[in-house]
Amino acid sequence: MKFTEKSRAAAISIISNTSLILLKLIAGIITGSVSLLAEAIHSIMDLVAAIMAFISVQIADRPPDEQHRFGHGKAENISGVVEGLLIFLAAGLIANEAIRRLPKGATLEFLEVGIGVMAVCLVVDLIVSRYVLRVSKSTDSIALEADARHLTTDVVTMGGVLVALVVVRFTGINLLDPVIAIMVALVIMKTAYDITKKSFGGLMDTSLTEAEENAIRSRVLEHGSQMAGYHKLRTRKSGSQRYVDLHVVMPRNVSIAEAHSFCDHLERDLESMLQRVDVTIHVEPCSRECDECSVSCNISKKSP
């Protein structure tokens, strides 16, 4: 199996999540802390997400084939949606267990073990999440970004659990444990919503960002002296792959070879500006009724 930068990052996430789950489960059982067990459940969902991210980036990186002429990029969006739903499930399980323990609190023991484990897990998760997020940005991977956001959320919630355990250790207020677990669940739900929303947008062929579309328009207009105009600009994104198509209006006195050469040049310009972009340009002849043409064209100078 060929390991790209994306799949390597996903694999590291899987290894770290597996290790942290074992530590948190052991610490949760020893201490009896629902917030620690909540973190373990959270990490289990992160592990599932990391595995899905690993599989999806492997599929998304496959070249186009007979059945998938536009590639396999949407595998990452599908992965992101499923990951978001799994995180919602994890949050529900955590909240349910914490609410169940609220009336009577919890009897906590060996808190030093829990505090030590959470400190180690927090440092490891922080390092791995920063690495995965950096790779997701450099490769424009929605699946890795979802995985990195899970891990980043884990860092935040682990910090809350760590503080709670320290406070309980020195104050004896055990009620803080399920309260912190509920707060963890709420943070997880917010992350799940953001991930699901962004991933689902890609499945609906959402346009590129406004900044990217404005950059495309500006680059096309830089060639205004060679064309009569353009219209029907459309953009979409599939995984990390971008697609741009537009209609370019050329003077009638331009030959097919000249129009083709111009389109090749424009495509190269757009490809140098955007990462992983596929550009399609449709050429149209200008209309004799057009009275606003910046091109020096014999047709526009003739009377109708």
Q: How many CB atoms lie within 10 A of CB 112?
A: 11
Q: What is the pLDDT of residue 281?
A: 92
Contacts of 56 (CB under 8 A, 6+ apart): 75, 76, 78, 79, 143
Q: What is the pTM of this model?
A: 0.56
The pLDDT, as a whole number, for residue 37 is 77
174 and 235: one domain? no
CATH number at residue 257: 3.30.70.1350
Predicted pLDDT at 303: 37
CATH number at residue 82: 1.20.1510.10
Which residue range is the domain that position 44 belongs to?
5-203
Q: Which of 179, 203, 227 is at the close of a domain?
A: 203
Two structure tokens written together for 165? 């355990």
Q: What pLDDT does residue 266 have?
A: 92
pLDDT (0 to 100) of residue 202: 63
pLDDT at 40: 80
Q: Are residues 276 and 154 in the same domain?
A: no
Average pLDDT of each block of 10 consecutive residues along the chain (304 residues)? 73 85 84 77 74 74 70 70 78 79 67 86 89 85 76 79 82 78 80 76 74 91 85 82 89 86 91 87 77 49 40
Do 130 and 248 fall into the same domain?
no
The residue among 138, 171, 203 that closes a domain is 203
Token pair of 117, please?
């484990």
Q: How far is CA 213 from CA 216, 220, 243, in A?
A: 5, 11, 11
Asked whether the CA dihedral 63, 64, 68, 74 is positive or negative, the reply is positive
pLDDT at residue 2 in the model: 57
Instruction: Cite the beta strand spans of 39-85 per DSSP E.
Output: none
pLDDT of residue 87: 76
